[in-house]
Structure 1
Amino acid sequence: MKAIILNEAGGVDNLKFVDIAKPIIKNNEVLVKPISLSINVIDYKVRSNNGALNWILGADRPAIIGWDLSGTIVEVGDAVTDFKIGDAVFGMANFPGKGNAYAEYVAVPSTHLTLKPTNISHQEAASATLAALTAYQALVEKANVKKGDKVLIHAASGGVGHYATQIAKHFGAYVIGTSSAKNREFILQNGADEHIDYTTENFQDIVSDVDFVLDTIGSDTILKSLDITKQGGTIVSITNSNISNEELEKAKSKDINLSFLLVQSSGENMLQLSQLMEKGILKSFVSKIFPFDEMAEAHLYLEKGRTVGKIVVNI
């Protein structure tokens, strides 16, 4: 089978196409033939940075990266009872760890997948994996966002942000999204109640008494967000695993629950997302689709940092 491997971190030239043997599945796994993959910020960070590559995948080389997939099951492990050959499935595979999604066949634990709704495409399904899981785990499992909460989502036009907006609205929250002015209409049409142009406005001058903040940006976003989060509120960062003592002390002084979230593969959560998508409550916005042999171009496009919604790669 064809796969894309990394022998070391670096530029997109380090993404090497090779022919390797198909994976041999374990008893608890299924073999998926992907139709579509989705790529995320973590993909190019792992590809370009040796520290990130070792952190997520370990030291074994060569490595195959990629975690988001939607496709068809072609083999089923002996202990798997919830799927059969021919099922269309989607999910985030093996994260953190060796996702192996940049390949024509991928071995995936069955507990990381769910059935794809018939009313959505493989491209839409592949998109709603790592990014949608991150949003769901942050808003639902970490923060328990509920009706009437005021929610601030930074970079609300991005992969995680556009799902987080829809999920927060589904649970009845008042949603404020930040982005540049050019994405204002997208954010409002996606369900946000209010938009802030971060290029011309300071969000801390506009909003206050926020129940939940989703930090998808990093830098000084946490410190600024602490100023506008109400006592007893929650801030979840998906970018900063090393929360500073200054940030922790400030959060403690306001009784704010501040934490970093590293998303985890979960078929149970994927089922919740699948049900929302089947009902039309949660929708993927796919901004660009690349063929598999243009994976390098897909990485470069995402790395520009101006992507609205998601980028998909078809195999």
Structure 2
Amino acid sequence: MVYYKRPGGPDVLRIKEVPNPPCVTIDLIMIQVAAAGLNVYDAWRRQGGSFYQSVFIDHMGYECSGLLLLENGDAYAEFVVAPACQAFQIPSCVSVVEAAALLEASRLTFFAFSGLTNVTPGKTILIHGAAAGIDFIAIQYAKYIGCQVFAVAGATERSELLTSNPTAAS
């Protein structure tokens, strides 16, 4: 398991052996982790960020392949236990590594488009700073639902990434 004793940069990360977590109810499943995603939430927590200022979470891993979300953040381990309702079969066109990296970005994109805005077919969408993982998902989702998408990125190499990537291109 990857953990840390105090907030900080990547240098505070440590690895320790822990027993496999117990699977204690019928609503829980145990997953052998094939790949774990690293997202901004993991880095934010490691640096000391918390929704609850008095809560210190000392372990890493918010998502892993085949699992939508780990509330307690234990995906950086060999085995994890999660609610069965949060597990999804990986589509055959997606590798386990890709699946681990796409879950949180996909969830946030869907939440933003369906919960925070009224994105519907035929609308025009501007995705600003569009050369990061979540932005590629947002571009694809907006195109999928029938929006006209404009995407901008600041740095030259990021703009080139946008125009050269068939996933991002219209």
TM-score, with structure 1 as normaliser: 0.49
Q: Which runs of 5+ in 1 are unaligned?
A: 71-88, 194-315
Tell me the secondary structure at the aligned position of residue 142 of structure 2: helix
Residue 186 and residue 34 in structure 1: after superposition, are their counterparts in 2 closer, same or farther (change >3 A)?
Answer: same
Residue 187 of structure 1 corresponds to 162
**Residue equivalent to 1:21:** 19
Whole-Å separation in 1 of the counterparts to 2:34 and 2:80: 11
SS in 1 for 2:149: strand
Equivalent residue number for residue 167 of structure 1: 141
Q: Secondary structure at the match of 1:67?
A: coil
Equivalents in 1 of 2:125, 2:161: separation in Å?
18
**Where does the alignment leave 5 or more consecutive residues of structure 2 unmatched?**
none
- Matches of 1:135 and 1:174, distance apart in 2: 16
Structure with the largest fraction of strand:
1
Q: 1:46, 1:56 within 8 Å by CA — same for their partners in 2?
A: no
- Confirm whether residue 64 of structure 1 aligns to residue 80 of structure 2: no
Q: Is the 8 A contact 1:69 1:91 kept in 2?
A: yes
Cα drift, residue 192 of structure 1: 5.0
Query: Residue type of the partner of 1:186?
Result: L
| Aligned CA distance change for structure 1 residues 4 and 132 (closer, same or farther; 3 Å) | same
Question: What does 1:1-315 align with in structure 2 at a 5 Å threshold?
Answer: 3-27=1-25, 28-48=27-47, 50=48, 52=49, 54-55=50-51, 59=55, 63-70=58-65, 89-94=66-71, 98-179=72-153, 180-188=155-163, 189-191=166-168
Local SS of the residue matching 2:67 = strand
Distance 1:58 1:163 in 2: 33
Kept in 2, the 8 Å contact 1:150–1:173? The answer is yes
CA RMSD across the alignment = 2.0
Q: Aligned partner of 1:101: which letter?
A: A
1:234 corresponds in structure 2 to none
The TM-score with structure 2 as length reference comes to 0.87
Q: CA deviation at 1:90?
A: 3.3
The offset of 1:168, in angstroms, is 0.4
**CA distance 1:155–1:56, shift in 2 (3 Å):** farther
**Pair 1:66–1:114, CA change in 2 (3 A):** same
Whether the aligned pair in 2 keeps the contact of 1:34 and 1:69 (CA below 8 Å) is: yes
* Structure of larger gyration radius: 1
> Post-superposition shift, 1:13?
2.2
Structure 1: which 4+ aligned runs deviate by more than 4 Å?
A: none
Distance apart, 1:25 and its partner CA: 2.3
Give the deviation of 1:35 after TM superposition: 0.5
The residue identity in structure 1 corresponding to 2:59 is: I
Question: Which amino acid letter does the alignment assign opposite residue 59 of structure 1?
Answer: V
CA-to-aligned-CA distance 1:189-220 (integer Å, 9 cap, x gap): 33455xxxxxxxxxxxxxxxxxxxxxxxxxxx
SS in 1 for 2:125: strand
